[in-house]
Amino acid sequence: MSTTITPEAAGAADDASATEARPRRFGRAARFARPGAALLSGVLLYLSFPPRPLWWLALPAFALLGWTLHGRRPRAGFGLGYLAGLGFLLPLLVWTGEEVGPVPWLALAAIEALFVAAVGLGVAAVSRLPWWPVFAAGVWILGEAARARVPFGGFPWGKIAFGQADGIFLPLAAVGGTPVLGFAVALCGFGLCEAVRLVRLHRAGGPLPRGPLAAAALSVLVPVIGAVAALPLVSDAAEDGTATVAAIQGNVPRLGLDFNAQRRQVLDNHAARTRELAAEVKAGTLPQPDFVLWPENSSDIDPYANPDAAAVIEGAVEAVGAPTVVGAVIAPPTGKLRNTLIQWEPGRGPVATYDKRHVQPFGEYIPMRSVVRLFNSNVDRVARDFGPGTEVGVFDLAGTKVGLATCYEAAFDWAVRDTVTHGAQLITVPSNNATFGRSEMTHQQLAMSRVRAVEHSRSVVVPVTSGVSAVIRPDGEIVSKTAMFTPDYLVEEVPLRSSETPATRLGTLPEALLAAVAAAGLGWAAARAVRARRGRS
């Protein structure tokens, strides 16, 4: 028996085949939608960080991340979270390979992205719970808390709070520090995601769930309302009078790892700028500073072991006639090097020191040296490891209590808070960024200091060997700053304060409470998953 296929039937068959092919093509494209969205969410987070004033991009970044992870299985959430972490941290940390090549940069970003991957797993797990944006934001802060502690003492660079120095949420730093500020941003973004999701479901023909929609709206509104309510905590009023402070930026003879290759040149540069300042003070064009702040490593040779270096410092300090904080590398005959700040008084010389407490792994000391050497021979540039100090740094400079957090320490909550709880009326963050060239690193670090100013309601002075140096008021406003790789100095009158913000008083408690929120959400999600498995068996 033969079958005749008419032209009409053949056309209908072709149309059916085309109809079946389109879903297959769209299905293949849809497989890449969530991974692409995860990567894009990370890139948006990066773009929200300085030097770009695009802090608000963090909100769509978290909204997109929430859409990517909502309803996913935890294993898929881990992979999607890792993509988001790479999209965020690869461009954010590119400065770490500025002079040593791409391997350390790629390795650091790949390792740190694992923490974001774990967050992705957690967010996927809690995304089916009521009020899931709250739990998801808590999971993000839990991930940041872990990243700030392990391995090798942690690496908190890239905390969401550090991208919010220009944002509307900044006053929340005074309420609960960087954890509360970061939580608010994440909560608002995840709340936006949930609100949009519920409205889209309703438009597709589903019911309008008023309770969940109200919860999503509150997730967006409460952080904004909280930031407005926290505004009275942000003040630049002088509680203990004012101080006139000078920050010296001597510059370096060359960029990169060999910034101090010319013996004593970095020291001579800072001494010269200080003498220039003294000349302007004597001429009456600038006010007499109460004290002077030099950067980290501003003396490239040990003034205790080199009389010529000590003489240069002494001459500059005598000329300006004010106590001066000098950053130096101290090389004792035995033991580890010390990254030290020295209080140098006119006519008295060095009277106090502060040794950096959190030295930088793979920069100031090399963990697992023999293993790391297999991947990058630059580890041998650090021929002798630095050792950490143990004492909190607060100098009494002409009657002003000045808290000391050296460079990398500004990223750690405890390292800055300790100085305030020990009486600091002003904070200084002496830094040396010469090895990172003209990268975004110095702008990212400056934003940290602005957040710290609001967090603890203190003026913050940031002297940097090669820039950007800055003077920041307690409300986070930069009142003056320098250009990069330019010899310069800043002289400003700043308010002194002694009251403590809630963030200073509470310390790690807000972070612990937010971690508990995350743990509660993860526990609830795990219990529901167990009950579901039992119901199917």
How far apart CA 277 and CA 242 sit, in angstroms, is: 20
Q: Which residue of the set 407, 455, 481, 492 is catalytic?
A: 407
Exactly one of 296, 314, 409, 455 is catalytic; which is it?
A: 296
Give first-to-last CA distance, the chain, whole Å. 52
Contact predicate 395/355, CB 8 Å:
no
288 three-class SS? coil
Laid out side by side, the sheet with 478-481 consists of 394-397, 400-404, 426-428, 459-462, 470-472, 478-481
- Rounded distance, CA 435 to CA 294, Å? 17
Q: What is the DSSP string of 423-492?
A: T-SEEE--B--GGGTTSTHHHHHHHHHHHHHHHHT-EEEE-BSSS--EEE-TTS-EEEE--TT--EEEEE
In the chain, count of helices (H) and strands (E)?
Answer: 15, 12
Is 356 one of the annotated active-site residues of the chain?
Answer: yes
Element (H, E) at 141: helix 132-147
* Residue 502 near residue 174 (C-beta atoms within 8 A): yes
Catalytic pick among 112, 314, 356, 481: 356
Q: How distant, in Å, are the alpha carbons of 73, 192, 427 from that of 405? A: 42, 37, 7
Label the pairing between strands 400-404 and 426-428: parallel
What 3-state DSSP class applies to 156? coil
- Cα angle: 346, vertex 349, 353; to 5 degrees: 115
CB 449 within 8 A of CB 415: no
Cis preceding-peptide flag for 382 (omega within 30 of 0): no
- Where are the strands (E) in 21-125, listed by range? none
Catalytic positions, please?
A: 296, 356, 407
